[in-house]
Structure 1
Amino acid sequence: MNNENSSYIKISSMFTRNVIILFAIIFIVNIIMLHSVFINNSQLKINKYNEIIDKAIKYKDNSIFLDEKGKKLLSKNNLWFQMIDNSLKEVSSYNKPLEVPSSYSPINLIHSYKYDIANSSVFIFEKQIMGKKYSYLLGFPLEVVSKYNIQYNTSALENLLHGKFIFILLINIIIIILFSYFCFSKKIVQPLQKIIDSIVIISKGKYNLNIQEKGLYKPIYACLNKLSTALNKSKLEKDLLDKSREKWTSYISHDIKTPLSSIKGFTEIMKDSEYTFTEEEIKKYSSIMYDKAVYIEELVQDLNLIHKLKNSAIHLNYEKINIVQFVIEMKKEILSSPNFFNRKIKFTSYSDVLYINADAKLLRRSLSNFLINFLIYNDDDTNICIDIIKNNTDIDIVIKDNGRGINPDELPHIFEQYYRGTNTNTNSNGSGLGMAIAYEIIKLHKGNCNIKSKIGIGTTLVISIPSFTNH
C-alpha cells in the first residue's frame, strides 16, 4: 500500500510541477508578445517597398522607367510593377506576369485591387511626374501578402480584437499542445504505451521480455520482467512435463503390450488342434503366461497406487515404529532372497531405539524399493551401507555405496514416474514406477529425499522422516 501511495504522490508531484512550468512559460511568452505588439508595432513592409519604388521611378526623354535599384528589389522579392496613366493604359512595367492586362476599365482596376490577379495581391500607389499624375501597381505573391474582402461591424470587431486577444489565445493554445506532447507524452503516455505493448506481447505467449527498468514506472517494468521470467519458466516446465508424459505413456504401452503379446502367442499355439502338448509343455507355457499376467497386474496396481499417492488419496495407518529394528528386519528379508543371497549390507546406528510415526506397510515398500535399487544397479562387490542418524526433529536413513554412480543429467529425474536410468548393465523387469512410488510415500509421511552421486565414486541417498510425536 505504501508503494502504491508513493507512486500516486510521484505522479501528482510531477503533474503539479509541470503545470507550474507550463503557466510560467505561457506568462513569459505573453509578456514578449505584448511587448512586440504594443512597443514594436510595425506594419508589413509594403510601405517600405513603396518608398523604394517611388524613388526608383525615373523620367527621361518622354519615357518612364525604373532604375537598377528598383529592378533588383522587384526581381529579388518576386514582385512586379506596372504604371498607368489617367486613361488607365500602361506606360511602363517590369517583371509583369502575362496575365496582367495592359489597360483597364474602371471596374477592372477596382477588381484588381480588391481581388488577386495573376496569383498576386495588388496595391495601388500614386506618382506625380512633370506635373502629371500617374498610378502604379505593385504586385506581391499571395504567399507573402494576401487580401480578403470582409464585411463587418467596425466597433464590434475592434472590441473583439482589442489587445490582440485572438492572436495571443492561439499562441497559448499552440504552446500548451506542444508542451503537452513533448513533456506529458514522453513522461506518461509513451511509458504507458510501452507497458500496454508488453502486456500484449505476453498475452501472445512470448515471454522473452527484457524491459529497461528506469523512470517513474520502474517498479512496473520490474514486475513485468519478473512475470515474463516466471511464465517462461512455467512454459519450459510444461513442455518438459508434456514430453515426459508422452514418454511415460509410450513406456506403459510397451510394458503392457510386450507381456500381452507373449500371452497371445502361447494361447494361439495351445489352441492349435493339430499340435498335441505334453504335460511338461503345458506347465511351462502356463507358467510363462501366469508370470506375464502377474506382471501386468502389478503394473496396473502400481499405476493405481502412484495416482492415489499423487492426489493424497491414501489413508495412512500410523503406528509407532522403532525404525532401527524396522530397517534391520527389512535388510535381512531382502538379503534372504536368492537374487541377493551373496550380497552384503553394512548397518550402523548410534541408538538401538529411534521411534517414528508411519504406516508400516507403505514405509516397508518405500525403503525396500530404495535398497533393492542400490543392489540391482551395482556390481556384486559394491559396498552398501545404511546409517540411521537422529537430528533435531528428523531421523535420517542414509543409504550409500561406492558403486557406478548416476549420470549428472539423469540425477534430477531419478524420482520421476517411469524413469529408467542408463548407467546399468542390468535388464530390469521393473515397471519404472518403483522409485517414484517410494519417493511419494516418503513425501506422504511429511518426509524428504535427497540424493547425490558421482560417476565411478558412488551414490548417497538421505531419507528424512519426522521423529515420533504423540500428536
Structure 2
Amino acid sequence: MNIKRRLALRFVFQLSIAGIVSLLIVVLSGLWVIRQYAEIQISRDFASVGLERLVESSKLTTDGFEFEPGLLERVKKNNGWLQSLDENGQVERSYNTPNDVPKQYTSGQLMEYWLNKNAFPYEIYLWVQKKEGKLFTLIYGTRNELTPLFEQVKAEARFSGSELVIPEKAASRLRSLGGFVQLLDSNGAELASFNKPKGVESRYKIDDMVVRTLYFYRFDDRILTSYEEDTGRTWIVGLPNITSGKVDRGWLPPEGKVLLTAMTVMFIALIIVFTLLSLWNAHRFGVPMLHMLAWLNSLGKAEFKEPLDRRGIAVSRKRSGEWRSRYRVFAEVLYSIDHLAATLLRDQKLREQNKHLREEWISGITHDLKTPLSSIKGYTHMLAEDSYEWSLEEVRKFSRIMLEKAAHMDTLINDLAMSYRISAGMQQEDGERIELNEWLGAALERAGASPSFNKERIRFVPADKPLYAKLHKPWMERVIANIAANVWLYNPPETILTVKVEEVEDRGQVALSFSDNGNGMDGDTANRLFERYYRGTDSASSTDGSGLGMAISKGLVEAMSGEITVRTYPGTGTTIRVTFPIMK
C-alpha cells in the first residue's frame, strides 16, 4: 500500500472516529436535555407526570408494589406524601405520610377529600390503573398551602391608597413560600401587589386567568382568584408550582437554561475532541515531517547519516530496526531519503576517489608526455651541438626516434581531447551499414600489422552468416585498437586474443567478443575499467598507453547506440563484449 492510500485511510479513520465521538456527544447531550426536561415537568406537576412515571417504574412483589427510589425522593423533596391502597381501601404501603392522614379510606370519604368537600389540610391526587392483574390505586398528597392563604388574604387583606395591607402572619408565610398577592381593576390591570416576583404579568387578558387555572402545571405559579361584585376588582394569590421552595425566575426559563447548558457543554466537548485530534495529528504526522526536514537539512550540510536520539539510535526506528509506528506511514519517503543519503555519500566518495585518481592520472600523463619530450629535447640538443658533426645515418636514426616520440605525444593529446569530447556529450556521427565478418577481419589485419602488435597472436572467429550493424568506421577502428592495445600492454607476450562475431537472437543484437587468456583482473579493476581517471596499473609503467583507451572505447560504443561490458577473473583472462542493434 502506497503512502497516498495509507494517509487517506488514516485520515478517514480519524475523521470517522471524530464523527462517532461527536455524534455520541450530541446524543448524550440530547438524552441529558430530555432527562432534565422530564425532571422539570415532574417538579412542576408531579401529580400528573410523576405519578405516571411512578406507576410505570413500579414492581409488584409479595409485599405489594415497590417504587423507584429516585421518584420517592422527589415526593419528599416536594413535601408530599404517598399511599398505595388495595381494593378495600386499606393502605398497603406509604411514604413520607404525616400522622394526620388516614390509614384506611371508604369510597365516600376518599371522594370528599379528593373534591375538597371536607376540611382536609392536604390536596390529594388519585391515580387508578390495573397492572399485572391487580388494581392499582395511588394517592399523592401535598399540604394545601394555597387555599388557607387565599382564604386568609381574602378575609383580612385590604387596599389602602395605592398599597396592599396583608396580615403579618399571611405575609410571612407568603414570603417563606415565595408567594404573591395581586389586586386587579375591572380591566385586568394591576392596582397593587405584594411580593410579586419578576416575570409575573401586570395586566391580564380575559382568558389569562382561565388558562392559568386550568393548566397551572404549564406555569411557574399556581393561582386562586376572587372577584368582588361591588368594586369589580379581582384578588389573585399565587404560590410556586415547586412547593419545596421558590421558582428560579432568572432571565431564562428552566428549559432554556438546560438547553443553553447542554449546548455549551456540547460545544466545549467538541472543541476538546478536535483539539486533542489536532494535537494527536501534530504529534503523529508533524514529528515525522520535522524529522525528515531535519534529515534533508543535514544532507544539505553533507551529513548523510539519519539524525540520532540521545541513545544513539535512529529516531525513526526501534532498537530492532523496525519503523516506529508514527514513521511507518512515511516509509516510502524515509526509504527515498535514505537512498538519497546513500547515493550522495557514494557520490562524495567517488568524487574524492576521482579527485585522487585524476591527480594520479595527471601525474602519469605528465610523466608520459615528459618522457618522449625529454627524448626529443635531448636528440635536438645533440643535433644542434656545433662541436660534433653527425653522420647522415645518425641524423636519420635520431629523426626516426624523434618522430616516434612525437607520434606518441600526438596519441596522448588526441586521447585526452577525445576523452573530454565524450564527457561533454559528443554528437553521434552518421554511421553506415557494415557487414561485420568481412569488415572486422580486415580491421584486425590492420591492427595486427602495427609494429606494437603481432598478428599471429590474434584469432578471428566469424559468424556462420553475414551480420550487419550501423557503425561509424573510424570510431569502431579506434575501439578495436584500444581493446587490442589493452591486451598487449597489460598481459604476457604469449597472450592470445580471440575475436568472435555472433548473433544474439533473443535480443536482436550482434555481439563482438574480445577474449584473451592473459592475467585477468580483480573485481575492483573490472568495475572501474571504463572510468576516465582510473588505471589498473601504474601510469608510468608503459609509455605506449594514455590510460584513457577503455574510457574512450566505452564512450564511442555508446555514441553508436551500443553497449560494452567486461567479464574477467584473476588468472583466467578477460572477455570484453561489445553489442550493437542488428540490421537486416
Specify the TM-score bucket, using the shorter chain as the normaliser.
0.5 to 0.7
Matched, 1:403 2:518: yes
* Aligned-residue offset at 1:185: 2.8
Corresponding residue of 1:48: none
Q: Note closer, same or farther for the CA distance 1:273–1:246 as it changes in structure 2 (3 Å cut).
A: same
Check the 8 A contact 2:29/2:262 in 1, yes or no.
no
Structure 1: distance between partners of 2:463 and 2:400? 47
Aligned to 2:451: 338
> 2:583 aligned to 464, 468, 471, which one?
468
Instruction: Identify the match of residue 331 of structure 2 among 214, 221, 230.
Output: 221
SS at the partner of 2:523? coil
CA deviation after TM superposition for structure 1 residue 190, in Å: 2.6
1:319 and 1:274 mapped to 2: Cα distance? 53
State the match for 2:14 in structure 1. Answer: 14
Alignment partners' CA distance in 2, 1:221 and 1:189: 17
How far the C-alpha of 1:250 sits from its partner, in A, is 4.2
Matched to 1:190, the amino acid is R
Query: How far did residue 162 of structure 1 move?
Result: 7.7
Displacement of 1:14 in angstroms is: 2.5
- Within the candidate set 390, 393, 402, 1:279 is matched to 390
The answer to whether the 8 A contact 1:415-1:435 is kept is: yes
2:318 is the alignment partner of 1:204 = no
Question: What one-letter code is carried by the residue in structure 1 that aligns with 2:439?
Answer: F
- How far the C-alpha of 1:157 sits from its partner, in A, is 7.3
| Runs of 5+ consecutive residues of structure 1 not aligned to the other structure | 42-153
Equivalent of 2:474, from 361, 364, 367?
Answer: 361
CA deviation after TM superposition for structure 1 residue 363, in Å: 0.6
Q: Could you say if the C-alpha distance between residues 215 and 300 of structure 1 is closer, same or farther in structure 2, counting changes exceeding 3 Å?
A: same
TM-score (norm 1): 0.62
On the 8 A contact 2:462/2:501 being kept in 1, the answer is: yes
User: Following TM superposition, by how much is the alpha carbon of 1:329 offset from its aligned partner in structure 2, in angstroms?
Assistant: 1.8
Which region of structure 1 is more displaced relative to structure 2, 319-328 or 178-187?
178-187
Q: Give the alignment of 1:174-185 within 5 angstroms.
A: 175-176=269-270, 179-180=273-274, 182-185=276-279
* 2:416 counterpart residue number: 303
The answer to whether structure 1 residue 233 and structure 2 residue 343 are counterparts is yes
Partner of 2:572: 457
Offset at residue 230 of structure 1 (A): 3.2
Q: Indicate the residue corresponding to 1:382 in structure 2.
A: 495
Tell me: CA distance 1:303–1:234, structure 2 relative to 1, closer, same or farther (3 Å).
Answer: same
For 1:419, the equivalent position in structure 2 comes to 534
What is the rounded CA distance, in whole Å, between the counterparts of 1:199 and 1:372 in structure 2? Answer: 52
Counterpart AA for 1:203: N
Larger Rg: 2
Provide the aligned C-alpha RMSD in A: 4.5
Aligned-pair CA distance for 1:334: 2.7
Q: 1:340 is paired with a residue of what secondary structure?
A: coil
Q: Extract unaligned runs of 5+ from structure 2.
A: 40-69, 74-247, 307-313, 317-321
Q: How far apart, CA to CA, are the structure 1 residues paired with 2:400 and 2:479?
A: 29
**CA gap 1:426/1:388 in 2 versus in 1, 3 angstroms:** farther
Q: Secondary structure at the match of 1:395?
A: strand
Task: Output the TM-score relative to the length of structure 2.
Answer: 0.51
The alignment partner of 1:404 has SS state of coil
Task: Give 1:236 deviation, angstroms.
Answer: 1.2
Q: Which moved more, 1:286-295 or 1:307-316?
A: 286-295
CA distance in 1, matches of 2:373, 2:495: 37
3-state secondary structure, aligned to 2:499 = strand
Query: Equivalents in 1 of 2:472, 2:452: separation in Å?
Result: 27
Q: Describe the shift of the 1:440–1:227 C-alpha distance in structure 2 as closer, same or farther (beyond 3 A).
A: same
The 8 Å contact of residues 415 and 436 in structure 1, kept in 2 or not, is answered as yes
User: Secondary structure, in 3 states, of the residue corresponding to 2:513?
Assistant: strand
Equivalent position SS for 1:186: helix
Deviates more, 1:9-18 or 1:263-272: 263-272
- TM-superposed CA distance for 1:222, in Å, is 1.6
Q: Displacement of 1:167 after TM fit? A: 7.6
Post-superposition shift, 1:414?
0.6
The AA in structure 1 aligned to 2:381 is: M
Distance in 2, matches of 1:382 and 1:425, equals 22
- 2:330 match: secondary structure: helix
Alignment-mate amino acid for residue 11 of structure 1: F
SS state at 2:583 partner: coil
Find the counterpart in structure 2 of residue 432 from structure 1: 547
User: Partner residue of 1:84?
Assistant: none
Cα distance, 1:410 vs structure 2: 1.1
Determine whether 1:443 maps to 2:558: yes
Report SS of the residue matched to 1:370.
helix
Please state how far the C-alpha of 1:347 moved relative to its aligned partner: 2.0
**Secondary structure of 2:460's match?**
strand
Q: Residue 440 of structure 2 is aligned with which of 288, 313, 327?
A: 327
Amino acid at match of 2:510: I
1:244 paired to 2:379: no
- Note if contact 1:417-1:433 (Cα within 8 Å) is conserved in structure 2: yes
TM-fit CA distance, 1:425: 12
Q: Distance in 2 between matches of 1:31 and 1:25?
A: 10
Aligned-residue offset at 1:448: 0.9
Q: Which deviates more from structure 2 when the two are superposed, residues 337-346 or residues 266-275? A: 266-275
The alpha carbon displacement at 1:440 in A equals 1.4
